[in-house]
Amino acid sequence: MFRKKEIIKGRIGKDPRVTYTTKHQTPICRFEIATSIDGVDLTVWRKVKLQGKKASDFSVQAKKGMKVFIEGIEKLVQFRNKAGEDIEYLEFNGEAAAIEV
């Protein structure tokens, strides 16, 4: 299945959170950005995930309120929580990230 890369831009809602994978200690940076839709007065919050070196580099510089550009692919995350409820949400897997100066 082909997924189209896209670039999203917006402002970071909270300071990015960094966690590490158990097996290889790979950094994973998660945060949300507020994006707007052109021509419509509407704000959409998007969940973003960066992995590897770009995650650790980005998390050092990025702070709440900064304007960022993220290139990547959006995917649907599905899982069942401990209470047995099915959870679904869209997550943007970033392959590149930049902070607007």
pLDDT at 2: 65
CA distance 41 to 18: 32
pLDDT at 1: 58
**Structural domains in the chain, sorted by start:** 6-96 (2.40.50.140)
Is 36:9 a contact under the CB 8 Å cutoff? no
Q: What is the pLDDT along the chain (101 residues), one digit of tens a residue?
A: 567 899 999 999 999 999 999 999 999 999 999 998 888 889 999 999 999 999 999 999 999 999 999 999 999 999 999 999 999 999 999 999 999 98
